[in-house]
Chains A and B, each alone.
Chain A
Amino acid sequence: MKAYTITRDNLGAWLDALARDYTLIAPVREEETVSLFKPVSGFAEINLGYTNSTVSPKGWLFPQTEEMFFFSTGDGQITLADAQTPGPAVLFGLRPCDIKGILVLDPVFNGAYQDCYYQKRRQNTILVGLSCTRVERHCFCTSMGGGPTDGGGADLLLTEMDGGYGLEALTSRGEELIHRYQDYFIPDRDNRVTAAREELGKKLAGQFTRAVDTTGVKEFLDENFELPYWGELARRCLGCGICTYICPTCHCFDIFDQSPDGESGVRSRCWDSCMFSHFTRMAGGHNPRPTKKERVRNRFLHKLKYHRDRYNLDGCVGCGRCVTRCPVNIDIRQIIADLQEVARHE
């Protein structure tokens, strides 16, 4: 695949053009400490200096709340009308861990029953990655098989380099997008872009404050469901669910109807969390995961074992968001290390 360079000025102009032709979703700084992905009207709103958005960008493909269809009753008939799905979009500025997060969600929404809502957005969205330029204290993507300049899964990967940016086309869809706006780009004939990105990757690899070794953790969990360890962890967990909302790979949802007049309304879905007690509570009160111990265990087993069992992919991409945001400092890196430790003493 081909690489190009683009000047800073042209990058701004290109993004303005993209915002005119597509729905452009990009990282925006909302307040000093919160960064989010939102539809933008042009380059001026985009924050390229962020490292990790507070909430993962999965919400473009799998919105926090999403209308599924409208229903109405009249003349004793039920009419169902599909909610509108957005047209062509560019999801711009995805960090490598978040691109990987999308690859973790893909098989969930695919399969024998295709999730049309996710699939339509996914097919209509071009993914543009953005290599990291620094490593945050809580990042551990390299421990989960990723890396700060690994754009795998994106259509295009943008990397900051001397005098501007490099842009690598990783898919034919990415190549087509560049072709459409070719005036902004200069073909990179001597592999400078790839070399610069690889160099950056090497430099950043040395900046991770903490690496974890996941070897054998899944195999240990295969054999050990009951561990006193989960109880210890659960005593600290508040059950607030923040970890699941900001995670790029969590996909649990609830479905609900709204019908103010009882005759017409909308069925929607919204993010839900296995950290909440009602998540598995059944009519009549029986709850198979009645305490935080079972719920904490479920979350970490999902990340480290269940997703692998079902899809052969880790359920965690090492973005570190849940580590940063957990009010009581529950740290999945520590959990992996602790499980290694418990396994050694078994």
Chain B
Amino acid sequence: MSNCHCRNPLKPYPATIVKIIDETPDVKTFQMVFDDPSVMESFRQKPGQVAQLSVFGVGEATISITSSPTRKGILEFSVKKVGMLTGALHRLEPGSKVGIRGPYGNHFPYEVMKGKDLLFIGGGIGLAPLRALIDFVLAEENRGDYGKVDIIYGARSMDDLCFKYDILDRWPKMPGTTVYTTIDRAEPGWEGHVGFVPAYLEEINPSPENKYAITCGPPIMIKFVLQALEKMGFSDDQVVTTLELKMKCGIGKCGRCNIGSKYVCLDGPVFYLSQLKQLPPEF
């Protein structure tokens, strides 16, 4: 047996929070930088991958890397406050020390998607992993590789929209890009669309031709979005989604995130709908 000279994958790298953006009442985006510049340099995530974030003394949680790899020198994570670790993260301030290990998991099939139009459908915090791919595709060096980009995004209320600066301001100005935003119920001050994401998707009724649909959001939204896409004629190989399952190690050891013989931390979180249909219904 060969000696183990690897770097311990269960040990995080120290990092510092450099900026915190309040997205919604319970979501914050954290910009982080590794304390060791050589780690920052060698950390090469792909859109769709996750990391394990540590608050030392509290623990770890699996969080999607929401910044595109085309953005160098910084990592962004958008975290919804739901429990111990995410609660502790929300109490931190710029300058606080955290730990990051990763990147883990597979990634969106951006190579396969070259030459195609892309339809993004996100709900709530589910936009976080999609955003890594959106910004990757819209980055100057990659934009020519992809066709039209449509983004459908919804949240419960205006307050619950994440990345407002992107969806209301930055992305709509990008060439070949259309952003459709919706909230569940009408509100004073909202002039955009009102209604659930799947219904809005059916209204927009995008053609499946030469297109990939990439979706992420709460399970119930994903369920109806998948049904709507199927109705519009998207094949199971044109639809990509991410799965969320409880994770601990992130590297296929702790045995926690299996769906059948697959581990979400290694074989996912990104799956084609055709693959999803092969898995036992345990998510």
Contact = CB atoms under 8 A, between A and B. Distances in A.
A224 B212 CA distance: 31
Contacts of B60: 255
A100 interface: no
B86 to A, nearest CB: 7
Contacts of B4: 114, 116, 119-120, 123
Given A108-B253, A254-B248, A306-B258, A68 B58 contact: no
Q: Is the interface of B mostly helix, strand, loop or mixed?
A: loop
A82 B12 CA distance: 12
A297 B244 CA distance: 21
B99 A283 contact: no
Contacts of B57: 71, 257, 259, 262-263, 265
Contact of A289 (B8, B14, B282): B282
Interface string A209-247: 000000000000000010000000000000000000000
B58 A80 contact: no
Contacts of A80: 11-12, 14, 99
Contact of A255 (B8, B14, B246, B248): B248
A252 B14 contact: no
Interface string A266-303: 01010010100001111110101100001000100110
Contacts of B255: 108, 251-253, 274, 302
A1 B219 CA distance: 58
B38 interface: no
12 contacts: A71-B56, A80-B11, A108-B253, A113-B251, A117-B8, A119-B1, A280-B256, A283-B83, A284-B82, A302-B258, A306-B258, A306-B260
B261 interface: yes
Nearest to B87: A283
Interface string B1-38: 10110101111101000000000000000000001000
B56 A265 contact: yes
Contacts of A115: 9-10, 251, 253
Contacts of A306: 258, 260-261
B246 A282 contact: yes
The 9 nearest A-B residue pairs measured at CB: A259-B57, A309-B261, A252-B255, A119-B4, A113-B251, A283-B82, A78-B14, A283-B83, A116-B8
B249 to A, nearest CB: 7
Nearest to A113: B251
A259 B56 contact: yes
Nearest to A260: B57
Interface residues of A, number: 55
B98 to A, nearest CB: 8
A207 interface: no
B11 A69 contact: yes
A279 to B, nearest CB: 7
Given A116-B8, A254-B248, A225 B260 contact: yes
B252 interface: yes
B254 interface: yes
Given A73-B97, A302-B255, A306-B261, 8 more contacts: A113-B252, A116-B8, A119-B4, A225-B260, A225-B280, A283-B82, A306-B258, A306-B260
Contacts of B261: 305-306, 309-310
Given A114-B4, A280-B256, A310-B261, A77 B11 contact: no
Contacts of A301: 260
A77 B1 contact: no
Nearest to A274: B255
B9 A257 contact: no
B59 interface: yes
B248 to A, nearest CB: 5
B103 to A, nearest CB: 12
A80 B254 CA distance: 22
B14 A116 contact: no
B245 interface: yes
A276 to B, nearest CB: 11
B283 interface: yes
A296 to B, nearest CB: 13
Nearest to A287: B246
Interface in A83-126: 108-109, 111-117, 119-120, 122-123
A225 B277 CA distance: 13
B229 to A, nearest CB: 23
Most chain A beta-carbon neighbours within 10 Å: one of B95, B266, B280, B283: B280
Contacts of A163: none
A76 interface: yes
A288 B260 contact: no
B221 to A, nearest CB: 14
Given A257-B57, A257-B58, A281-B246, A82 B256 contact: no
B245 A288 contact: yes
A181 interface: no
B148 to A, nearest CB: 35
A294 B248 contact: no
Contacts of A108: 252-253, 255
Interface string B64-106: 0000000000000000001100100000000101010000000
Contacts of B282: 288-289, 294, 298
Q: Chain A CB within 10 Å — which of B4, B12, B281 has the most?
A: B4
Nearest to A72: B56
A255 B61 CA distance: 11
A305 B258 CA distance: 13
Interface string B215-248: 0000100000000000000000000000011101
A281 B83 CA distance: 12
A78 B56 contact: yes
